[in-house]
Amino acid sequence: MAEIAREIREGFLCPVCMKDLGTVTQLQSHFEEAHSSTEDKAVGHQIKELFDKAKRTILGKKENNYSFASTQGSLGGAYGVAKSSDGLRYSIDYWEPQEIGQTRSRTDEFRALRGSRVDRYVVETNKLLIRMDKLIAPDSPPHSDSSKRKAFEKTVVMWMPDADLKHCPTCGRTFSITKRRHHCRLCGSIMCDKCSHFLTYEYARKLTNPAFQFDGDSGFLKRSGSSSSLNSMFSSDGDPQIRCCLECRKLLERREQLMDQRNKKPSIVLLYEKMKECTDECERLLETYLPMSESLSAGESTYSLQEAQIIRAKLVRLYEVIDQLSKKIVGLGLNAEELPTIKQMAIQKSIRTFATGFMHDNMIGLQSLPSEEQYQKLQEARKAEIQKRIAMERAATIEAQEKEKREREKVKNRDLLPDKGLRQNSSDEQTERTNSQVHRGWKPVENSVRVTNEDPMLQQMEIIRSYIKQAKQANKWDEVKMLEENLRDLQREYASQQRQTWS
C-alpha cells in the first residue's frame, strides 16, 4: 500500500510550471513575474494560501512539515488534473462537498397516533397474562374441588352476570337449558360451549414465563364432541385447561408470535451474525494493520515486524472463517426436504456476494509483509534514500542561497540599504525545512539557536549542531548519524566556499 500513484515532488515548486525555486521569496517573486498576468486569480489565491500555510509550518507553530510537504504535492497534483481537464469531463467531486439535504422526521407524530391504539392491546394482553398467572398458580384450588375452584376463578376476574346475555355473542344462538352459558376465565365474558377455546397449562406457563420450554404445536384445544364441561377441563392426558373466548385467544396468540420472533432466530440469522462479527473484527484489525504494513514496507522502524505478523495471521484466519460461514449460508436448506424459496436463495446468494466483495476489497489490499532479511534491506535502502535526498536538498538550498545572494547584491547596488533581518529569516526557514524532513514524528525545537554569525552556512551548521544535541537526548541515533553527516558535508562546503572567496 506504500505505492503512491505519482511522484510527490517536494520543495518550493511553482504550481504553474513546476519549477523548483528553492526558497519562499524566490518562488514568490518568480510567481509574480512569470504568472501574475496569466492564469486566473484562483491559482494566485491558492498560492497565497500555500504561502501562509508554509510560513506557519516552517515556523513550526502548528502542523508538522510532513503535512506541509504533502499539501504541496497534492496541490501540484490537483493542478495537473485541472489542467488536463480543459476538455470537459464528468467529475465525481462536482463542486464542493455538500451536506445532506433537508429531512423531516414524522416518527413522533406516527408514534403518538399509533400509541393510543396499540396501548389498548398491550394493556389488555397484560391483564390477561396476570390473570392467567393466578389461575395456574400451584397454590390455587385444584379442579377436583369444583365449587372452590369456581369461587377462586371468580375472584380472578369478575364474571359477567348470566342474565346479561340471551344469545351467544359469537355464534348468535339462544342460550337454554341444553345450551348453557360458559364464562371465559380470562376476561369473564359469556359464550356457548361450542364457541369456547381451551388453553393448556403448558401453554399458559410458556406465555407467563419466558424461560419455560414449550414444544407443543398449538396450546389451544378445540372443544371435542359432547363430553361434559367438567371433563373438558382436562386434556386427554389429564392436564387441566383454561376455558377462554376467541378474543382472548387472539390476543394471546399475538403475544406468542412476538415472543417467538424475539427469542428464536433462524439459522441464517445466527450464521449471518457470526459472519458480521468477523467482518467487524477484520475492519478493526485492518485499521491498525494497514499503517503498520505500509510503514514496514517503507523500511521505517516505527512498528515491530513481529507484531504486524501476528495481526496479519489473525486477519487471514478471520477471512477463512468468513469464507466458510458465507459458504454455509449459501448452502443453507439445500439438503432439506423442502428447498428454500427463490427469494430466500437470492438472499443467501447476495450474502455470499457481500462476503466475497468484502474479502476482495480488503484481502487483495492485504499486502504481504517483508521477511526479516527483506526488511533489513528495506531499512538500509530507506536510509540511503533519505541521505541522498538530504544531499540533493542541500545542494538546491545552497544554489538558491547563492542566487539569492547575487540578486540581493544587485539590489544592494541599486539601493544601498542592507537587509539583514529578511536574509536571516529566510535562511533560518531554509534550515528548519531541510532538517525536519528527516524527522517524522520527532521534531527539534528551535529555541537553543543563537544567531552569532551572519553567514547562512554558519548559521545552518549551528542549527544542525543544536539538533544533534536534541536528537541525542531523544535517543534517535539514526537521526544523529544522519545529521552528523549532514554537518560534515556542510563544513566541507563552507570551507571550499571560503577558499573561493579568498582566492
Return residues touching another protein (CB under 8 A): 40, 42, 87-92, 94-95, 98-107, 109-111, 113-114, 117-118, 121, 254, 258, 261, 265-266, 268-269, 272, 276, 341, 343-344, 346-347, 350-351, 353-354, 357-358, 360-361, 364
Q: For another protein, give the closer residue by CB, 4 or 364.
A: 364
190 grid coordinates: 359469556
209 grid coordinates: 414465563
Q: For another protein, give the closer residue by CB, 203 or 272.
A: 272
Task: Encode burial over 109-145: b for 16+ CB neighbours within 10 A, e otherwise.
Answer: eeeeeeeeeeeeeeeebeebbebbebbbeeeeeeeee
Listed residue (69, 63, 83) closest to 17, CA to CA: 83
DSSP state of 243: E
The residue length of the chain stands at: 503
Q: For another protein, give the closer residue by CB, 184 or 366.
A: 366
In sequence order, what are the beta bridge partners of 200? 241
Three-state DSSP state, 161? coil
Q: For another protein, give the closer residue by CB, 1 or 422.
A: 1
Q: For another protein, give the closer residue by CB, 205 or 276.
A: 276
Q: For another protein, give the closer residue by CB, 69 or 251.
A: 251
Q: How far is the CB of 306 from another protein (least distance, A)?
A: 24
DSSP 425-464: HHHHHHHHHHHHTT-SS----GGG-----S-HHHHHHHHH
Q: How far is the CB of 4 from another protein (least distance, A)?
A: 18
Q: For another protein, give the closer residue by CB, 37 or 228.
A: 37
When computed from its CA atoms, the radius of gyration of the chain, rounded to whole angstroms, is 42
Q: How far is the CB of 187 from another protein (least distance, A)?
A: 19
Three-state DSSP state, 472? helix
Q: For another protein, give the closer residue by CB, 95 or 502.
A: 95
206 grid coordinates: 410458556
How many whole angstroms separate alpha carbon 202 and alpha carbon 500? Answer: 107
Q: How far is the CB of 84 from another protein (least distance, A)?
A: 10
Q: How far is the CB of 271 from another protein (least distance, A)?
A: 11
Q: How far is the CB of 94 from another protein (least distance, A)?
A: 4
Q: Which residues contact 333 (CB under 8 A, 6 or more apart)?
A: 339, 340, 344
Q: For another protein, give the closer residue by CB, 334 or 451.
A: 334
Q: For another protein, give the closer residue by CB, 119 or 485.
A: 119
How many whole angstroms separate alpha carbon 31 and alpha carbon 24? Answer: 10
Own/partner pairs, 495-501, CB within 8 angstroms, 24+ separation: 497/457
How many whole angstroms separate alpha carbon 463 and alpha carbon 451? Answer: 9
Q: How far is the CB of 17 from another protein (least distance, A)?
A: 22
* Grid-cell match 539601493, residue found: 415
How many whole angstroms separate alpha carbon 236 and alpha carbon 296? Answer: 75
Q: How far is the CB of 300 from another protein (least distance, A)?
A: 24
Q: For another protein, give the closer residue by CB, 40 or 237.
A: 40
In sequence order, what are the beta bridge partners of 95? none
E-strand stretches of 118-251: 182-183, 190-191, 197-200, 220-222, 241-244
Q: How far is the CB of 102 from another protein (least distance, A)?
A: 4
Q: Are 298 and 440 in contact (CB under 8 A)?
A: no
Q: H/E/C letters for each residue in 340-356?
A: CCHHHHHHHHHHHHHHH
DSSP state of 94: -
Q: How far is the CB of 121 from another protein (least distance, A)?
A: 6
Q: For another protein, give the closer residue by CB, 58 or 271.
A: 271
Q: For another protein, give the closer residue by CB, 276 or 440.
A: 276
Q: How far is the CB of 243 from another protein (least distance, A)?
A: 26
Three-state DSSP state, 197? strand
Q: How far is the CB of 118 from another protein (least distance, A)?
A: 6
Q: Are 400 and 23 in contact (CB under 8 A)?
A: yes
Three-state DSSP state, 199? strand
Q: H/E/C letters for each residue in 223-235?
A: CCCCCCCCHHHEC
Q: How far is the CB of 56 from another protein (least distance, A)?
A: 26
Burial of 289 (0-12, 13-18, 19+ CB in 10 A): buried
